[in-house]
Structure 1
Amino acid sequence: MNAYNNIYDAIGGAPAVRRLVEAFYPRVQAHPLLSPLFPEDITPVMEKQYMFLTQFFGGPSLYSDRHGHPMMRARHLPFPITKERADAWLGCMRGALAESGLPEELQTLVLQRLSGPAYHFINTGDGEEG
């Protein structure tokens, strides 16, 4: 991460996180495996994701300040998350990162950082719906 102490600063702080979220959610909404898991009005989800990623990448604790401890696995338990959906989510993020124009090494770092949680949220086997 060069001279930066965290991903948040390395990618460009708040504006970069906002751009990433705004590039990510149209992909999610268009994805046949992911779109059914999200509400039609995606705006509140996008704002929560912006706050979470800001904090997750080492920026200000926006998510915890507003919503308490993230407890992301617990918050995702009501939704049937399969490995296939985790892969799809990461694929949407990969596309959003590519669109963001971040250097390749930062794109890889962000994807690596998000892969652990994405696969940790799996709570349903493929072909199973809850």
Structure 2
Amino acid sequence: MPDAPPTPPATPYDWLGGEAKVRELVDRFYDLMDIEPAYAALRAAHGSTLADARDKLFWFLCGWLGGPDHYQSRFGHPRLRMRHLPFSIGIRERDEWVACMDQAMGETGVHADLRARLRESFMNTADWMRNRGG
């Protein structure tokens, strides 16, 4: 009898590879945002430095993916939409954010099944964060 396919880890955090892999993903995401012309509008929305954004996204993603709640322990509930209201987020910014994260997932070796699941979740969340039309 053939072996059953392996069961993915319990959480996306574990499947990704834990804290070190989340940090690698976030760092690649912001590196790409900083150097790729395709993400210029997204980069422009982040001000002169990305250090604070890197840490906040890392802390948030650890908990969102099922790992430690670093973000909540520092700032309380994420209230993503409220915290992003000061920023103009339209379709272009949404699409650039998701494309940049998808590229980072590809370049950091995120498993294809997990990458597809996360891409869909990121798109749903990014679309919900839009606060203007185009």
When normalised by structure 1's length, the TM-score is 0.91
2:86 counterpart of 1:78: yes
Q: Which of 10, 17, 20 lines up with 2:22 in the alignment?
A: 17
Q: Which residue number in structure 2 is paired with residue 44 of structure 1?
A: 52
Give the match for residue 107 of structure 1: 115
Pairwise CA distance, 1:125: 1.2
**Higher Cα radius of gyration:** 2
Runs of 4+ in 1 over 3 A off after TM superposition: none
Residue of structure 2 equivalent to 1:55? 63
Q: 1:25-64 CA distances to partner (integer Å, 9 max, x unpaired)? A: 1222242211111022211110000000001111111100
Q: Does 2:9 correspond to 1:4?
A: yes
Q: Tell me the amino acid that sits aligned with residue 50 of structure 1.
A: F
Runs of 5+ unmatched residues, structure 2: 1-5
Residue identity in the other structure for 2:106: A
Which structure 1 residue ranges, 5 or more long, are not aligned? none
User: Residues 29 and 38 of structure 1 are in contact (CA less than 8 Å); yes or no, is this contact kept in structure 2?
Assistant: no
Q: Which residue of 1 aligns with 2:31?
A: 26
User: What's the % identity of the aligned pairs?
Assistant: 32
1:45 partner letter: A
Task: Tell me the number of residue pairs that the alignment of Structure 1 and Structure 2 aligns.
Answer: 126
Q: In structure 2, what is the Cα distance between the partners aligned to 1:16 and 1:110? A: 14
How far the C-alpha of 1:3 sits from its partner, in A, is 4.0
Aligned match of 1:122? 130
Shift of 1:2: 2.4
2: distance between equivalents of 1:2 and 1:40? 43
CA-based RMSD of the aligned residues comes to: 1.3
C-alpha distance in 2 between matches for 1:70 and 1:3: 27
